[in-house]
Amino acid sequence: MILNLLTNLSYYIPEIVSIVTMCALLFLEASYKASEKSRTMVFVASLIGLVVVLFSLISNMSLEPVSLFASAVVVDKFSTLTKILMTLGTLGVVYLSYKSKDIYTGLKSEFLIMAMGVLVGGMLLSSANNLLTVYLGIETLSILSYVMSSFKRHESSSTEAGMKYALYGGISAGIMLFGMSHIYGVLGTIQFSEMVPLLKELTGANLAVMLISFVLFFVGVGYKIACFPFHMWSPDVYQGSPLPVTTFFALVPKFAGLAVLVRISFVFFSNEGALQIGWIGLIQVVAALTMTVGNVTAIGQDSLKRLLAFSSIGHVGMMLLGVVAVSESTTRIILFYSIAYLFMTLVVFYVVSTISDKYGTDSHSVIKGLIYRHPLMAIVMSIALFSLAGLPPFSGFVAKFNMLSAVIESKYYALAFVAAINSVISLYYYMRIIKMMIVEQPETNEKIETFNFINQALITVYAIPVLFLGIFWEKIMLISDGAKIFIVP
Amino acid sequence: MSGLLNWILWLPVIGMIAILFVPKDKKDLIRTFGVVTTSITFLLTLVLYAKFNTSIGGMQPEFLIKVPWIEQFNIFYSLGVDGISLPMVVLTGLLFLICTVSSWSVDKQVKSYYVLLLMLQSSVFGVFFALDFFLFYVYWEVMLLPMFFLIGIWGGENREYAAIKFFLYTFFGSIIMLVGIIALYYATGKGVDSFNILALQGGHFTKEVVTLFGTEFSFEKLFFWAMFLGFAIKVPVFPFHTWLPHAHVQAPTAVSVILAGVLLKMGTYGFLRIAFPIFPMASVEYSTVIAVLGCISVLYGAFCAMAQSDVKKLVAYSSVSHMGFVMMGMAAMTVQGMNGAVLQMFNHGTSTAMMFLMIGVIYERSHHRWIVKPDGSKGYGGLYSHMPKYSIIFIIGMFASLGLPGLSGFISEALIFLGIFNRFTTITVFAVLGLLLGAAYLLWMFKRMFFGEASAEVKSYPDMSIREVGYMIPLCVAVIVFGIYPSPILNVMKASVAQLLDLLGKFS
């Protein structure tokens, strides 16, 4: 037993390293007086920790899929790749938080500690293999998120965000738990692998109960990825939170939530039957509405953060399309979409953060005539926005193309047309930003000089995949294609 | 010679990269780079024309290029040229050369301007060369980016609205087309040829069925309309034309020229290369609809043109009218009609380019484009006596545009009417009115601008400079020569058009 546990632990190095890093950061932070030096130390330590996590994850990519800890978690390529994405996202956010003025200086180290915690929660979620682990993962992810969203505690918008997030989160977690208890009540087990054969034999009333309980279960996950109708918290939280936190929320919890959604769809709903019809029907409607609501509402937004919140709701709708098509290609396209989305989001938030740090507001007007004030930033941002809108030759287009392919392959033509029209709507508001940056004249001619060499290098590095994956996407596609979900026999 | 298409396609990109390394304030050097690049490109298109084998109907085997791009999805970088695309390619080469010369007077952000212009040229070539559907789509969309900025930055007062409207409208059409492209990919079973435009041709989808909202639709018909939407917006056919007047009026001169001269042709080219051959049954079945829409475009465009007091808007609406003729010629699906349509695509490219350039010339002097100013006074008047060079070239362009025998517009329109008369007689009768209206609004415009007493302001305008005359001459020559002797173009397209008609004939 102990030997077994020890061998299992060897698969679990990334998580262990994350936890160790988190504790180390906590000690570091606590044992020094708050000063610039100690902040830098915590920052560097977290970077080192994350890089180690990243490398151990990459080395895990070559492992055969296994289930660990009495089948509570699964380590397969799908979960490992999701974890890599989350770690990359965290890495991007770490530097952003270090330079950002939006987080109170005294809280910067705390942010890093909590980010590590959320990352651990996300990792747990993405490899969850029983209902309890899913719940644990979601709660680990959420509780720290609530704190992070109210980081600007002297501002009412931020406390409001934290409050809203917590209330919403509490209720949806409760509903989810309620659903889970029904599932357990009917099937008598919480293990995914034990549930699958039992599900096949369900009939009549039990089947109906099961369908409803999965809907309830979906509430918890849907809230985490902010899909319609559980998206209401997202704009307020995005706007109220400090920008690095917003960036973090746009990436890590979304990837984790999607990962668990994809896994559940694969494990439970890949067999034809009433359950699959119900589940796919649900996701179809949710996907269409999420996209439409997100994109249409984004049009009227003045605050860039709020606009990005709605745009990310639109993108979640797009990613849900991949779940609709429960087919071989699902994991591939969702992972590719996530990879593309990661880099586009990093670029956009990086620029928005820099600008709103300088002017103290994130209203549309501050971005006017950016091309005259900082050409690199404007060009890189335009590339990212065009890519978000899904225009070739950028990675967003390839992601969208594959998403549409999956939907059409499963012959949901109506959904494909909805997605197509949505991408026109999204182009409109992205283009308005681009127009402001490049076409309009700036209000001041003052150059932006706060953007030093490291920052410039960083956004360029983030922008390269946006461009590169739009043209030479075969390699990454093959890697995501190999990242299959392991269904424990 | 097999790399010729690659050279034509990528030379503008090379020029673009070269310009990126030139310092911003060396404006003349940037302009020279632009002109040199487009001249070499134009020469290469002429080489392509010279090497073209007119007896082959399909893609010229000598120039085919096919390299795997994304093997996993059977996407290829595959280029080719045939008799339908060759006139467009040469036209693109010519018009971009003229535009880079005529844009010498642009003084705002010269570097970005030329970079975007060359990027546009490359993507336009890409559309005309692409034989892979994915590649085609990529170029089709990439073209929107430089256009958006060219209209948005260098345009007139209302440029932002125009740029966004143009972008959104076209994007809407093309994304619906994308759904069609993907549907075709799966309908052919994801095989090696699933994105191969040539292999998709031939009516393989007549029996496929699609279920949408619980109702069964014919695959062929549904996705014919999806493609139709994409191309019809680009042409633009009534009722999808509303973006065009805005885009034209706001765009800077050179961009208007490109837009009317080349970009609109991409729509009709799409019909000939994609919609018709891939969905021949639906095309034949709905040719009446296309002809009727074409006829409405002809008349509606002409009436709208007549009502304009902004001369550029007038020419913009005349484009709608003239592209309507192209649609009618294609819908006829006869030898004369189809040849006339392709010829009209070329001829409209040269004559409208002339008109837009001439308007650009006068705009640089007067800084307005009113035939009649909003306050009711004359915008110009008496140009004829004060700008003789300008007037002569303008007359050539105008008469070519209204279809005077002896100039290029006449031949193509006559061919179109010959081709369509037997098939859609009633429609033809109405469309002929369009010719009359065309003469009416152009001559009326001419009368108001060129005759009468010249105001002091008009007297102060200098006549055309050598540079301006210089870039107009090739177009004048083209308009006159192809008006008398159109065979150089007709010979090139004959075999390809015949092949297309063969295919369509099987389904009518």
Q: Where are the domains positioned within chain A?
A: 1-269, 271-489
Question: Residues 12-31, chain B: which have Cβ within 8 Å of A?
Answer: none
**Interchain contact, A438 vs B152, CB within 8 Å:** yes
Residue pair A72/A48 in contact (Cβ under 8 Å)? The answer is no
d(CA B45, CA B89): 7
Total Cβ atoms within 10 A of residue A450:
13
Averaged over successive runs of 10 residues, the pLDDT of chain A (489 residues) comes to 72 88 88 79 90 90 80 86 93 86 79 91 90 90 89 85 89 91 87 82 81 88 87 87 90 91 86 82 91 90 88 91 81 90 92 84 81 87 91 90 88 88 91 87 74 82 89 83 76
Structure tokens at A157: 């918008």
B71, B168, B183 ranked by CB distance to A427: nearest: B168
For residue B236, say if its preceding peptide bond is cis, omega within 30 degrees of 0. yes
pLDDT of residue A2: 66
Lowest-confidence region among A62-66, A414-418, B316-320, B445-449:
A62-66
Query: B109: alpha, beta or left, given left = phi > 0 and alpha = psi -120 to 50?
Result: left
Q: Does A393 touch chain B (CB under 8 A)?
A: yes
Length of chain A: 489
pLDDT band per the 50, 70, 90 thresholds, residue B384: confident
Residue pair A77/A65 in contact (Cβ under 8 Å)? The answer is yes
d(CA B338, CA B490): 11
d(CA A261, CA A254): 10
**Interchain contact, B72 vs A432, CB within 8 Å:** no
Residue pair B302/B360 in contact (Cβ under 8 Å)? The answer is no
CA dist list (Å): A481 to A259, A398, B209: 15, 14, 30
A423, A432, A435 ranked by CB distance to B175: nearest: A423
Distance from CA of B120 to the nearest CA of A (A): 14
Amino acid at B90: V
Rounded CA Rg of chain A: 22
A–B: how many Cβ contacts below 8 A?
Answer: 84
pLDDT band per the 50, 70, 90 thresholds, residue B214: confident
pLDDT of residue A477: 83
Rounded CA Rg of chain B: 22
**Interchain contact, A431 vs B164, CB within 8 Å:** yes
Distance from CA of A78 to the nearest CA of B (A): 20
| pLDDT over 90 at B107, yes or no | no
Buried b (16+ CB within 10 A) or exposed e, A407-443: bbbbebbebbbbbbbbbbbbbbbbbbbbbbbbbbebe
pLDDT band per the 50, 70, 90 thresholds, residue B228: very high
For residue B92, give the DSSP letter. Answer: H
Residue pair A473/A417 in contact (Cβ under 8 Å)? The answer is no
Per the listing, tokens 């890519």 go with A387
Residues ≥6 apart with Cβ < 8 Å to A299: A425, A428, A429
In chain B, residues with a C-beta closer than 8 Å to the C-beta of A393 are 138, 142
For residue B379, give the DSSP letter. Answer: S
Question: Mean pLDDT across the stretch B340-348?
Answer: 92
Per the listing, tokens 């690049």 go with B37
Distance from CA of B175 to the nearest CA of A (A): 6
d(CA A149, CA A305): 14
d(CA A402, CA A420): 12
Half-sphere exposure of A266 (CA within 13 A, CB side): 21
Question: Residues 405-444, chain A: which have Cβ within 8 Å of B?
Answer: 405, 408-409, 411, 413-414, 416-417, 420-421, 423-424, 427-428, 431-432, 435, 438-440
In chain A, residues with a C-beta closer than 8 Å to the C-beta of B172 are 421, 424
d(CA B498, CA B504): 10
Residue pair B283/B211 in contact (Cβ under 8 Å)? The answer is no
CA dist list (Å): B245 to A74, A403, A447: 60, 35, 37
Residue pair B83/B496 in contact (Cβ under 8 Å)? The answer is yes
d(CA B283, CA B279): 6
Give the helix/strand (H/E) hosting B211. Answer: strand B209-212
Tell which residue, A258, A278, A133, has the closest CA to residue A199.
A278
User: What phi and psi values does residue B106 have, to the nearest 5 degrees?
Assistant: -70, 130
Distance from CA of B143 to the nearest CA of A (A): 10
Q: Does A475 touch chain B (CB under 8 A)?
A: no
Buried b (16+ CB within 10 A) or exposed e, A105-141: eebbbbbbbbbbbbbbbbbbbbbbbbbebbbbbbbbb
Residue pair A46/A90 in contact (Cβ under 8 Å)? The answer is no
Query: What helix, strand, coil percent values describe chain B, rounded to 5?
Result: 75, 5, 20
Amino acid at A124: L
Residues ≥6 apart with Cβ < 8 Å to A61: A77, A80, A81, A84
Taking CA–CA distances from A474, the nearest residue in chain B reads: B70
For residue B63, give the DSSP letter. Answer: G
Residues ≥6 apart with Cβ < 8 Å to A321: A287, A403, A404, A406, A407, A415, A419
Alpha helix locations (H) across B188-263?
197-200, 219-234, 243-250, 253-258
Give the helix/strand (H/E) hosting A33. Answer: none
A424, A427, A438 ranked by CB distance to B153: nearest: A438
Give the helix/strand (H/E) hosting B377. Answer: none
At B30-64, the pLDDT tens digits run 999 999 999 999 999 999 999 888 888 888 888 88
Tell which residue, A39, A5, A4, A44, has the closest CA to residue A21.
A44
Q: Does A160 touch chain B (CB under 8 A)?
A: no
Question: Residues 165-194, chain B: which have Cβ within 8 Å of A?
Answer: 167-168, 171-172, 175-176, 178-179, 182-183, 185-186
Residue pair B66/B3 in contact (Cβ under 8 Å)? The answer is no
Taking CA–CA distances from A439, the nearest residue in chain B reads: B153
Per the listing, tokens 């918290």 go with A233
d(CA A22, CA A53): 12
d(CA B277, CA B283): 8
**Interchain contact, A427 vs B167, CB within 8 Å:** yes
Domain ranges of chain B: 286-508
Amino acid at A364: H
pLDDT of residue B369: 86
Residue pair A92/A247 in contact (Cβ under 8 Å)? The answer is yes
B167, B172, B212 ranked by CB distance to A431: nearest: B167
CA dist list (Å): B22 to B16, B42, B48: 10, 23, 30
d(CA A211, CA A218): 11
Q: Does B145 touch chain A (CB under 8 A)?
A: yes
What is the full DSSP assignment across B271-333? IIIIIHHHSHHHHHHTHHHHHHHHHHHHHHHHHHHHT-SBHHHHHHHHHHHHHHHHHHHHHH-
Total Cβ atoms within 10 A of residue B109:
17
pLDDT of residue A369: 83
Distance from CA of B333 to the nearest CA of A (A): 31
Max Cα separation, chain B? 71
Q: Are strands B209-212 and B215-218 parallel, antiparallel or unpaired?
A: antiparallel
d(CA B393, CA B407): 13
| ipTM of the shown complex | 0.89
Structure tokens at A165: 């997030």
What is the full DSSP assignment across A129-188? -BHHHHHHHHHHHHHHHHHHHT-STTSHHHHHHHHHHHHHHHHHHHHHHHHHHHHHHHHS
Cα A217 to the chain's mean position, in Å? 19
pLDDT of residue B343: 92
Residue pair B121/B92 in contact (Cβ under 8 Å)? The answer is yes
Tell which residue, B57, B100, B109, B113, has the closest CA to residue B81.
B57
pLDDT of residue A481: 80
SS3 state at B241: coil
pLDDT band per the 50, 70, 90 thresholds, residue B1: low
Q: Does A484 touch chain B (CB under 8 A)?
A: no
Give the helix/strand (H/E) hosting B75. Answer: strand B75-79
Taking CA–CA distances from A479, the nearest residue in chain B reads: B72
> Which residues lie across from B211 on neighbouring strands?
B216
d(CA A94, CA B44): 52
Residue pair B319/B359 in contact (Cβ under 8 Å)? The answer is no
Pick the more confident residue, B232 or A12: B232
Cα A406 to the chain's mean position, in Å? 21
Q: What's the angle, vertex CA A409, arms to CA A406 and CA A414, rounded to 5?
A: 85
